[in-house]
Structure 1
Amino acid sequence: MAAPIRVRSDLSSDQVRAYSRSSRDAGQVRRLLAIASILDGGGRSEAARIAGVTLQIIRDWVLRFNEAGIAGLATRKAPGPATILDDRHRRALEEVIATGPIPAVHGVVRWRIIDLAQWLWDEFAVSISKQALGHELRTMGYRKLSARPRHRGQRPDDIAVFKKKFAARLAQIRQRLPSGTPVELWWQDEARIGQQTKLTRRWAKRGTRPSAPRDQRRSSAWIFGAICPAEGKAAGIVMPHCNSEAMSMHLEEIAFHVAPGAHAVLLLDQAGWHGSAELVVPPNITLMPLPPRCPELNPVENLWQFMRDNWLSNRIFKSYDDIVDHCCFAWNRLVEQPWRIMSIGLRQWAHGF
Structure 2
Amino acid sequence: MAAAVQAHPDKTIALWFMDEARVGQKGRIGHRWWVRGQRPPGLCDKRFASAYIFAAVRPATGEDFALVLPRVCTQAMDRFLADFAASIPADTHAVMVLDGAGWHDPRAVTLPPNLTLVPLPPYSPELNPVERVWLYLRERYLSHRLLADYEAVVEACCQAWNALAAETGCIKSLCAYPYLEQTSS
Band the TM-score falls in, shorter-chain normalisation: over 0.9
Give 1:337 deviation, angstroms. Answer: 2.5
Structure 2 unaligned spans of 5+: none
Give 1:333 deviation, angstroms. Answer: 1.6
Higher radius of gyration, 1 or 2:
1
Contact 2:42/2:144, CA 8 A, preserved across alignment: yes
Aligned length: 183
Name the CA distance, whole Å, in 1 between partners of 2:63 and 2:44. Answer: 33
Name the counterpart of 1:264. Answer: 94
RMSD (Å), alpha carbons: 1.4
Structure 1 unaligned spans of 5+: 1-169
Contact 1:221/1:239, CA 8 A, preserved across alignment: yes
Contact 2:4/2:13, CA 8 A, preserved across alignment: no
Name the counterpart of 1:188. Answer: 18
Name the CA distance, whole Å, in 2 between partners of 1:285 and 1:237. Answer: 17
Give 1:300 deviation, angstroms. Answer: 0.8
Name the counterpart of 1:342. Answer: 172
* TM-score normalised by length of structure 2: 0.93
- Aligned in 2, Cα 1:256/1:346: closer, same or farther, shift over 3 Å? farther
Contact 1:268/1:290, CA 8 A, preserved across alignment: yes
Name the CA distance, whole Å, in 1 between partners of 2:130 and 2:22. Answer: 13
Name the CA distance, whole Å, in 1 between partners of 2:50 and 2:20. Answer: 13
Q: Residue type of the partner of 1:171? A: A
Of the three residues 159, 171, 178, the one matched with 1:329 is: 159
Is the aligned partner of 1:171 residue 2:2?
Answer: yes
Name the CA distance, whole Å, in 1 between partners of 2:93 and 2:130. Answer: 20
Q: 1:1-353 residue pairs with structure 2 within 5 A? A: 170-179=1-10, 181-275=11-105, 277-353=107-183
Q: Residue type of the partner of 1:337? A: E
Contact 1:229/1:342, CA 8 A, preserved across alignment: yes
Name the CA distance, whole Å, in 1 between partners of 2:52 and 2:146. Answer: 17
Give 1:282 deviation, angstroms. Answer: 1.2
Structure showing greater relative contact order (alpha-carbon pairs closer than 8 Å, 6 or more residues apart): 2
Name the CA distance, whole Å, in 2 between partners of 1:336 and 1:256. Answer: 22
- Identity among equivalent positions (%) equals 40
Structure with greater helix percent: 1
Name the CA distance, whole Å, in 2 between partners of 1:263 and 1:337. Answer: 27
TM-superposition CA deviations, 1:241-298 (whole Å, max 9, x none):
1001100111122223323311111000011110053311111111000001110011
Name the CA distance, whole Å, in 1 between partners of 2:180 and 2:79. Answer: 26
Name the CA distance, whole Å, in 2 between partners of 1:235 and 1:291. Answer: 23
- Aligned in 2, Cα 1:178/1:260: closer, same or farther, shift over 3 Å? same
Name the CA distance, whole Å, in 1 between partners of 2:179 and 2:8. Answer: 22
Q: Residue type of the partner of 1:241? A: R
Q: Residue type of the partner of 2:162? A: N
TM-superposition CA deviations, 1:123-174 (whole Å, max 9, x none):
xxxxxxxxxxxxxxxxxxxxxxxxxxxxxxxxxxxxxxxxxxxxxxx22221
- Aligned in 2, Cα 1:221/1:228: closer, same or farther, shift over 3 Å? same
Structure with greater strand percent: 2
* TM-score normalised by length of structure 1: 0.50
TM-superposition CA deviations, 1:168-226 (whole Å, max 9, x none):
xx2222111124x2111111111111112211111112332212112111111111111
Contact 1:184/1:264, CA 8 A, preserved across alignment: yes
- Aligned in 2, Cα 1:333/1:268: closer, same or farther, shift over 3 Å? same
Name the CA distance, whole Å, in 2 between partners of 1:244 and 1:276. Answer: 10
